[in-house]
A = this chain, B = another copy of it.
Amino acid sequence: MLETIEEKCQKNGVKLTDQRRIIARVISESKKTYGESDHPDVDELYNRVSQIDSKISIATVYRTVKLFEEAGILTKHDFKSGKARYELNDDHNHLIDIKTGEIIEFVDQEIEELQKKIADKYGYKLVDHKLELYGIKKK
């Protein structure tokens, strides 16, 4: 199974406070609770976190999300709309329905390898990648 956020924090020397632990938990549970295509923005995270501890400020959510991102725990997405959206760092890619905004996640080994090969060709070691496909549903 995957490491928990807590484990990743330990490994990266990120200190876990009560607030951060709650935020981590909310993120960890987001897909389980809200479905596979859940990519909450900071406001949404703040709402969910507030239900657990209403004392936590939105500034802390912003700070924590940034901290986790820098530690490689979360991935930040911009997609189309203004707000940044977050999810656990994972190697999957996104297929976005441009009509409905629905997000389908997929992993494709062939693409992964091709990407490494391309970076290599230019003399780079691949450390991160982002692939977004925008499509319209066929009937």
- Say what secondary structure dominates the interface of chain A: strand
Task: Please give the residue numbers on chain A whose beta carbons come within 8 Å of chain B beta carbons, in ascending order.
Answer: 78, 95, 97-98, 104, 106, 108, 110-111, 114-115, 118-119, 122-138
Chain copies in the assembled complex: 2
Which of B115, B124, B137 interacts with A138 by CB under 8 Å? B124
Q: Distance (Å) between the CB of A117 and the closest chain B CB?
A: 9
- Whether the pair A136, B127 counts as a contact (CB closer than 8 A) is yes
Q: Assess the A124–B106 pair: CB atoms within 8 A.
A: no
Query: Could you say which of B95, B126, B128, B132 contacts A124, with CB atoms under 8 Å apart?
Result: B95
Q: Which B residue's beta carbon lies closest to that of A98?
A: B127
> Inside 8 A of A127's CB, which chain B residues have their CB?
98, 134-136
